[in-house]
Amino acid sequence: MLNLLFILKIVVAQEDWENVYTAFVNDNMTEQESWVVTGAMSEDQIANCAGQKIIGGYIAFGSGTAVQKLFYLPPHYKLRITINFWKQQEYLSSSRLGCWEDEVQYIIIDDIVWKQTFSCSQGFSQCGTSYHDYLCQVDIITTHNSETLLIFMKSNLDGGKEEFWGFNNFTLDILKCIPDCLLCNQNSSDLCQPEMDTTHNQIYNPNVDIWFNTNNLHVLTTICLDKISLIGGFQILGRSGLLKTKINLDPHYQFQIKFKIWLIDISSVSHNFNIVIDGIIHPFTITPASSISFCASSQQESIYNVDFTYSHQNPQVEIQIAPTSLKGSNPFWAIFNFNLFVFRCSSHCIKCSGFQKNPM
């Protein structure tokens, strides 16, 4: 029995990562592989470096260059991202003009911000043209269960024409929920939903794509990062903005709300919001992790994953979202990828307070 328990513990401890995306690992890569690049210094964005190919690099990615990709992921509870980041520069010993002088590279993963400060002296000539090439191997593991994932890369380079960056060997792995399960908890795939013994088809996800403002008018959408359509956003939803919707539901006992909230042109302090469910207020606070701009030409933006579970039995639900304290000189906000996961009653019930298995 002791040997059996020991074996089971080993099996449980192992994490079965599944690769869902790999890019820029092939030496014959010739294109951006569906990534969106803005502010590049050259149309030729594939370079040779240290015997391998990278995207960006010398006279390609520099000050003002940003790279992003939006992923849609299967149900999961954790992710791992690995990237080879290359810092490059032409550095003249008689001047610090055109070197990475304590400048920062950012990799934003939804509401997680990886950042690394680089110095002028780091690296050596590896890529044939630049003089201080430095490889930084990034490995990020974080809990994550949102359907969408935004990867955004940008530096705070001061505009020198001798400062560059690039990357290659990008991989995205996830720990998946069990098959056919829309949800699992943040620590394990063996629960279809926390603390509930239920079948997979008891959870459903109705469409929620119509939102109104305080005047009962449809809320307009805006585009951020080239192709991402936000509900609200710049010049649409400000400090006094409100989103609301009503949804008819099957007999149920609980639902879970998941969405991304985008803060645009804000200051780097805490911001307060309310989610109102059938008139009951549920406040939450957002403390931005990022300090760079990716939606507007200045100021700062941030993304925050909202995950909220609520006991509910009414056949219709009214949801309102609004800020109570949004700080900045002229701030705006938006939502993206709103999902409502409804926990149905068992098939023989028209009302319930929790799931019950069908009687034998």
Own/partner long-range contacts of 205-211 (Cβ < 8 Å, ≥24 apart): 205/339, 205/340, 205/341, 205/342, 206/247, 206/249, 206/340, 206/342, 208/245, 208/247, 208/338, 208/339, 208/340, 209/338, 210/245, 211/243, 211/244, 211/245, 211/335
Determine whether 6 is exposed, middle or buried from the number of CB atoms within 10 Å of its CB (0-12, 13-18, 19+). Answer: exposed
List the structure tokens of 18: 């599944």
Give the number of other CB atoms < 10 A from CB of residue 171.
17
Give the number of other CB atoms < 10 A from CB of residue 334.
25
List the structure tokens of 240: 């006094």
Distance in angstroms (rounded) separating the CA atoms of residues 193 and 204: 12
Task: Tell me the Cα Rg of the chain.
Answer: 24
pLDDT band, very low/low/confident/very high, at 195 (cuts 50, 70, 90): very low
Sorted by where each starts, the structural domains of the chain and their CATH numbers stand as 14-176 (2.60.120.260), 200-344 (2.60.120.260)
List the structure tokens of 271: 């911001």
Give per-residue pLDDT as tens, 102-116: 888 889 899 888 988
Distance in angstroms (rounded) separating the CA atoms of residues 125 and 104: 20
Cβ proximity of 48 and 37 under 8 Å:
no
pLDDT band, very low/low/confident/very high, at 1 (cuts 50, 70, 90): very low
- Does residue 93 carry a pLDDT above 60? no
Write the secondary structure of 118-152 as one string of H (helix), E (strand) and C (coil).
Answer: ECCCCCECCCCCCCCEEEEEEEEEEECCCCEEEEE
Distance in angstroms (rounded) separating the CA atoms of residues 158 and 97: 10
Give per-residue pLDDT as tens, 55-78: 888 888 888 888 999 999 999 999
Distance in angstroms (rounded) separating the CA atoms of residues 274 and 238: 14
Place of tokens 């032409």: 90
Minimum mean pLDDT among 128-137, 205-214, 234-243: which range?
128-137
Determine whether 357 is exposed, middle or buried from the number of CB atoms within 10 Å of its CB (0-12, 13-18, 19+). Answer: exposed
Look over the chain and give the mean of its residue pLDDT values, rounded to a whole number.
81
- Does residue 79 carry a pLDDT above 90? yes
pLDDT band, very low/low/confident/very high, at 337 (cuts 50, 70, 90): very high
Cβ proximity of 187 and 77 under 8 Å:
yes
